Amino acid sequence: MIDQDETKRTTQAGPELTYDEAEQTALLARTLDRLGNRAGLPPLMPEGPWHPGIDTEIANVSLIWLSAERADGVPSAAAYLAALHLWNDNLSAAHEIVQSAETPTAMLLHGIVHRREGDYDNARYWFRQAGNHPAYHGLQVRVAAYLKSSRPVGGAVGDALEQMGAQGSWNPYLFVSAAAMLEYRTEEREARARLEYVQQLELEAAIRFLEGNLGALRDE
């Protein structure tokens, strides 16, 4: 767990960076609280950021502080901030972070960005680059449990949802296909609500994986 020492620490990583641990801890906690209490789930294809003020808060989180001086900390910290931007529906901010990153998690998030943009071919490409990501392992269990407890919906999207619930492992391409089916079917509200919930489970799986990598965000 990140300690609460209020003294400022300085690190040499290019230009000198200074951060206050207590302030950073409070900032991140406030950001997560606001995202967690937003009204409604993030849409499959947002029109813009949900809350511009949260973008500012995310931008003020120190990568050096968040990385906790771990060997792979900075790439994981950057991906974590991209995931928070995705939660806030700021696809461009998330894309700016992940487009030059080469880690599997950044590639997974890159796929989500393009899927939510409606750029489905690029989404599939980046999901292929991410491979069988460890975040998928617990995700499928959660998705299956949710869909099993939900009322079935009809149509082609309903068939895709049924496949999602029955598959043995998470298939990001099936989700891409289901999202593409819904792009112009605004009347299928129940199917859209199911996919939005599954999308949130997917994002939370990536965030949970990154928190495990960073370690400093939770008790060890």
What does 104-116 look like in DSSP terms, one character per residue?
A: HHHHHHHHHHHHH
pLDDT at position 207: 97
pLDDT at position 17: 55
Report the phi/psi class of residue 45: left, alpha or beta, with left for phi > 0 and alpha for psi in -120 to 50: beta
pLDDT at position 8: 40
pLDDT at position 191: 94
Contacts of 49 (CB under 8 A, 6+ apart): 55, 88, 89, 90, 93
How far is residue 7 from each of residues 3, 16, 18, 99, measured CA to CA in Å?
A: 11, 16, 10, 34
The SS3 assignment for 83 reads helix
Q: Evaluate whether 57 touches 46 at the Cβ level (below 8 Å).
A: no
Q: In DSSP terms, which residues pair with 8 in a beta bridge?
A: 20
Whole-structure pTM value: 0.88
Residues of the chain with pLDDT under 50: 1-16, 216, 218-220
Q: What is the 3-state secondary structure (H, E, C) of 165-179?
A: HHCCCCCHHHHHHHH
pLDDT at position 16: 33
Rg (CA), the chain: 18
What is the share, in percent, of the chain residues with pLDDT greater than 70?
89
